[in-house]
Structures are given as C-alpha cells and as structure tokens.
Amino acid sequence: MAATAEAHPNIAFIKYWGNRNPALNLPANPSLSMNLAALRTVTTVSFDPDLAQDEVEINGERVEGRAYQRVVAHLDRVRALAGRRERARVVSRNDFPTGAGLASSASAFAALTLAAVAAAGLTLSEAALSALARLGSGSAARSIPAGFVEWQTGERHEASFARSIAPPDYWALADVIAIVEQAHKPVTSRQGHQLAPTSPFQEARVATAPARLAACKRALLARDFTALAPILEQDTLMMHAVMMTSTPSLFYWTGETVTIIRAVRCWREGGLPVAFTIDAGPNVHCICPAEVAGEVEGRLWELPGVREVLVSGVGGAARLIEQEPRGAAP
C-alpha cells in the first residue's frame, strides 16, 4: 500500500519542554496547543518489497544522517506493529519554514505516522496514533487531534496522548507569525529537551505547569482573551528562562524577537487584543481574535527585521488524503 496524509503544526499555549522519560518522549509536564490551519505537511509513504533500504525525501531533497535515522526508527515502529519487513519510500513537504521554531517536526511526524500506519494496513484509534506520533517527536502527539488540544503526561506509553478539548470552530482565534529568521536553528528542540533538567528553573516551571494549564483551559473554554493573554506570555517566558539558564545555555531570541515582544505588549496596553508566545526559535507567534488579525499583521510588517508574516486560523486533525493499493497508478 501507499498512503498520503497531511497534518498541521501546532502552537503551544502551555509549553512542553523536557522529558521524564527521554526514550518514550514522556513529557515533564502537560501542555495545551492550537493547530494551525494555514500551515501543513503532506507526506506519502510507500512500502515496496523491491527497496533495499528506506528512502526519505523532504522538501525535494534526499535526507541522510540524523534526520534520516529518526524517520527510519519511526518506520521501524510501524513495521513492528504491522508485522511487516518491507522498506519504504517517504516523500514529505512543508509549505512553511522547517526547523525555525514553527513546530515542523510536530506536523512532520504526525503526517508520517498516519501515512505509514495506513500504508502498512493498520487501523489505530486517534489516541493510539497520537501516542505513536509522540515517539517520533513529542509535540507531534498534539498534531493528531483537531482544534484545541491537551496533552497529558501519562505514566506509560499508552497513557501519554493528546485529545481535542474544543473543535476548530469553537473560538475564532488567529496566529499571526512574525518570521525574523527562516534558517534551521543551531540547536534542535530534541537537544534542548535533554538540557532542560540542567536549569535551576526547570523544577519550578514543571511544578507550576498544571496550574497554568488549568487557568489556560478555563480561559479558552470561556473564550476570555483578557484572561488568556497573560497566561500565554508567562508560560513562554518561563520556558525560555529555562533555556537561557541551561548548561550550555540556549538563546534562541534575536534583537528583533525582543522588539516584537515589546511591541505586542504595548499594543495590548493600547487596547488591541493580542499576546505573544514563542516556541524553540526566534520567531514570534502573535495570538489574537481572528477579527483583528489583519490589524496585527499590518503592525508587524512595520517593525524592523520582520521578513515574513504568516496568518493562520485554527486547524483540524491529521487526515488521510489518498490511500492506494501497491502498484496502482498515482
């Protein structure tokens, strides 16, 4: 079989940073996120008995090294579940910058999981797909369900999965993303998770995360942006404080990042409902009600160093686009 799936990256309102069990990507704390409808990864997986080894192509380029090994390891997990041995050809493409703090690994491994499972002839529940995607990239667990998503830590593999707490149309929020750098970040999120315990602030961040998640969830379900905004900003600043105080320290921000942070706070004080959050990278996600997204976008373009602005509403679940028997015409 061959199958093609698409998945959206997600932006975390309550961040995932650090693992209790690195081998299983069991997170140190629960998290909450929003899928991004305007950004997507499309991945095709074809199992072929004539292949001598797995082949991986991402954004038109043949992949080798560590990235290749991560994909092969994930294919091995699917093969083990399906009792198959055939090698696979994987072709994946993002329509947004890769490795720049936009959760490209989340959508990549969510799409890879769904396509590989379908191509292998398996049928898994959404919870099982989420848990499986987590093994490839922790935040990929959140890109399997739709809309606004909560990921609980879980004490074992099967219990650590994400679930939707509200559908995409529950609240018309937008993520207006200020791109200040498009290049791959020098230290990956996977490496950063390993460094998190070296920060003296990680223990306090993890201990207080459930309370922030509960407050964030209340604000989201009440559609209360005034309550939501400071929670988003506090949580992201706590995560970056951990990064900056790890050994060695991680400093993803640029001068432009700080300029945008200060501008967003000034805009909100002036009455524009907008809040910032930042993943593991320099680019700034400006969360706001959809009706003011155009205003936020226009103001971001006026700031120095902003190279691109992406605007997205709330996205749906990972889904199959095509599924064909082996040997069928594409």
Report the sign of the C-alpha dihedral through residues 278, 284, 290, 292, in that order. positive
The token pair that represents 57 in the structure block: 């192509």
Find the distance separating the first CA and the last CA of the chain, reported in whole Å: 11
Give the 3-state secondary structure percentages of the chain, helix then strand then coil, rounded to 5.
40, 25, 35
Which sequence spans correspond to the domains of the chain?
A: 2-169, 173-312
Q: Report the distance separating Cα 74 and Cα 112, nearest Å.
A: 8
The residue type of 265 is R
pLDDT given at position 330: 37
Look up tokens 């922030």; give the residue: 212
β-bridge pairing 61-62 and 162-166: unpaired
Instruction: Looking at the structure, give the CATH architecture of the domain made up of residues 2-169.
Output: 2-Layer Sandwich (3.30)
Q: Domain spanning 173-312: which CATH class is it, in words?
A: alpha beta
Per-residue pLDDT of the chain (330 residues; tens, 9 = 90+): 899 999 999 999 999 999 999 999 999 999 999 999 999 999 999 999 999 999 999 999 999 999 999 999 999 999 999 999 999 999 999 987 655 556 689 999 999 999 999 999 999 999 999 999 999 999 999 999 999 999 999 999 999 999 999 999 999 999 999 999 877 777 788 889 999 999 999 999 999 999 999 999 999 999 999 999 999 999 999 999 999 999 999 999 999 999 999 999 999 999 999 999 999 999 999 999 999 999 999 999 999 999 999 999 999 999 999 666 644 433
DSSP 8-state symbol, 15? -
Q: How far apart are CA 190 and CA 161, in angstroms?
A: 18
Q: How many CA atoms lie within 13 A of 45 on its CB side?
A: 29
Q: Write out the H or E segment, with its range, that includes residue 159.
A: none
d(CA 73, CA 51): 17
Supply the pLDDT for residue 99. Answer: 54
pLDDT computed for residue 327 by the predictor: 45
297: left (phi > 0), else alpha (psi -120 to 50), else beta? alpha
